[in-house]
Amino acid sequence: MTKVIFVVCDGLGDRPIKQLKNLTPLEAAKTPNLDKLAKSGITGLLHTVYHGIRPGSDVSHLSLFGYDTKLYYKGRGMYEALGLGMKLNKGDVAFRCNLGTIKSDGIILDRRAGRIESAEPFLKELDGTQINGVRFSIKAGVMHRSALVMSGYNLSYKVSDADPHETNVKIKKAMPLDNSKEAQFTADTLNRFIDLAQQKLKANPLNKERTKKKLLEANYLLVRGAGYVEDVPSFFDKYKMSSCCIAGAGLYKGIAKALGMDVLEVKGATGTFTTDIEAKMKAAKEALKRYDFIFVHIKGTDTAGEDGNFLEKKKFIEKIDKAIKLISDLDDTLVVVTADHSTPCELKAHSADPVPILMNGPGVRVDSTKRFGERECANGALSHIVGLDVMPEIMNLLGKAQLYGD
């Protein structure tokens, strides 16, 4: 066995839900194809970073790919920027941003400017701004989202978010998070940029049009998630496997790029509920001809969890299951299905509850698990593993693990 398809269903894990007869959305969903893979494979429960850690999607993915986050995680911003195709150099500091709406007294009215269709026409005149010898590049993402990159000397990613993350509170400044001159300089320069952006956004004629149409103005840039660009060993350096990523949402493409994976663009892969999962699985199957390791990311499970919508989550899991059929009968391939964390509908947020994992392929020591579910997989032969165990387990099953000792 030489190839791997690694499917991450974002936020898949959940807790028992009363309205689903105390089953989780995954347990309640009809998933014949995932069940078949679990039944003829090996399963377990996965603590994606470590026991009791409630991870963000960025750190959990790094961990799943075998990167110790204590060494390699330097903030989310760089992955967002890479995911939007921005060029990053060592020493740059990157952020993720929202275009938001504030009132004249600086109180945040809406963190998404009324879910504005595109930030692009508002951000054009901010791109390329220079302050204190630092160049600011900004690029629009989906709807209100964008990424910002500061390029120059003496920058630090140790600056706080200039975003209180809630509405009806006052805007806040970026602050240095350590005593270094670099952190102070970065925070001061960033705050000057945010002030300038506020002036320019306020004067933008597009906002007058929005007011006329009774839409919220896009008049403030909320900046968060400072990330530092640093060299990390590539996925190929670590595992000697060529790799690619199939994802709709930018963050996952960014993580893949940071690790040197090729990002394949698949028509219909949107990172939303309407995403074409079958197209992604077909593309994954096709990619086996060119790559050894194919990472497929599916976002909708997490979105449904964050909305607290357990019926949508169950329905979306059934949609994933249908598409999984396309990769359930492959020769010479290890299929791994898991999640990056739980997003229980009850919490509408990530939790530290471990997630189910299955590995299916020739030679795998089949266990007694009959179904793919949180509680069923707790009895699987992989037992409880942590994120950094996943790649070594895969390498062992592929027969590529290095001998330890003599």
335-364: contacts with Zn ion (CB under 5 A): 340
SS3 (DSSP) at 178? coil
Query: With CB under 5 A as the contact rule, which of the stretches 55-63, 112-120, 186-194, 243-251 interacts with Zn ion?
Result: 55-63
Query: With CB under 5 A as the contact rule, which of the stretches 31-39, 50-58, 115-123, 369-377 interacts with Zn ion?
Result: 50-58
Q: How far is the CB of 339 from Zn ion (least distance, A)?
A: 8
β-strand pairing of 42-47 with 355-360:
antiparallel
Q: How far is the CB of 231 from Zn ion (least distance, A)?
A: 25
Q: How far is the CB of 302 from Zn ion (least distance, A)?
A: 5
Residues 295-334, mask of contacts with Zn ion (x by CB under 5 A): -------x--------------------------------
Exactly one of 43, 48, 57, 191 binds Zn ion (CB under 5 A); that residue is 57
10 binds Zn ion (CB under 5 A): yes
**How does DSSP assign 224-283, residue by residue?**
EEEEE------HHHHH---EEEE-SSHHHHHHHHHTTPEEEP-TT--SSTT--HHHHHHH
Query: With CB under 5 A as the contact rule, which of the stretches 56-64, 91-99, 305-313, 322-330 interacts with Zn ion?
Result: 56-64
Burial of 4 (0-12, 13-18, 19+ CB in 10 A): buried
80 binds Zn ion (CB under 5 A): no
Q: How many residues does the chain have?
A: 406
Residue holding tokens 């709709």? 248
The pair phi, psi for residue 37, each rounded to 5°, is -65, -40
**62 vs 324, which CB is nearer to Zn ion?**
62
**How does DSSP assign 364-391, residue by residue?**
----S--S-SHHHHTTSTTEEEEHHHHH
**43 vs 57, which CB is nearer to Zn ion?**
57
**57 vs 137, which CB is nearer to Zn ion?**
57
Query: With CB under 5 A as the contact rule, which of the stretches 4-12, 27-35, 45-53, 142-150 interacts with Zn ion?
Result: 4-12
- 361-368's contacts with Cβ under 8 Å and 24+ in sequence apart are 361/1, 361/41, 361/333, 361/334, 361/335, 361/397, 362/1, 362/331, 362/332, 363/1, 363/397, 364/41, 364/42, 364/334, 364/397, 365/42, 366/39, 366/40, 366/41, 366/42, 367/41, 367/42, 367/43
**187 vs 246, which CB is nearer to Zn ion?**
246
Measured between alpha carbons, how far is 89 from 285 in angstroms, rounded to an integer? 34
**321 vs 340, which CB is nearer to Zn ion?**
340
Query: With CB under 5 A as the contact rule, which of the stretches 52-60, 266-274, 330-338, 389-397 interacts with Zn ion?
Result: 52-60
Measured between alpha carbons, how far is 298 from 138 in angstroms, rounded to an integer? 27
**57 vs 243, which CB is nearer to Zn ion?**
57
Q: How far is the CB of 6 from Zn ion (least distance, A)?
A: 15
Residues 137-156, mask of contacts with Zn ion (x by CB under 5 A): --------------------
**110 vs 340, which CB is nearer to Zn ion?**
340
Q: How many residues bind Zn ion (CB under 5 A)?
A: 4
Query: With CB under 5 A as the contact rule, which of the stretches 3-11, 244-252, 317-325, 369-377 interacts with Zn ion?
Result: 3-11
**9 vs 395, which CB is nearer to Zn ion?**
9
58 binds Zn ion (CB under 5 A): no
Measured between alpha carbons, how far is 6 from 279 in angstroms, rounded to an integer? 16
Q: How far is the CB of 205 from Zn ion (least distance, A)?
A: 38
Report which residue's Cβ sits closest to Zn ion. 57
**CA torsion through residues 151, 157, 158, 159, sign:** positive
Measured between alpha carbons, how far is 255 from 250 in angstroms, rounded to an integer? 9
Q: How far is the CB of 48 from Zn ion (least distance, A)?
A: 9
**167 vs 309, which CB is nearer to Zn ion?**
309
Please name the residues in contact with 337: beta carbons below 8 A apart, sequence gap of 6 or more: 7, 9, 34, 37, 324, 357, 358, 372
Q: How far is the CB of 235 from Zn ion (least distance, A)?
A: 19
Query: With CB under 5 A as the contact rule, which of the stretches 5-13, 272-280, 328-336, 351-359 interacts with Zn ion?
Result: 5-13
Q: CA dist 332 to 245, 283, 397, Å?
A: 20, 17, 11
* Footprint on this chain of Zn ion (rule: CB under 5 A): 10, 57, 302, 340
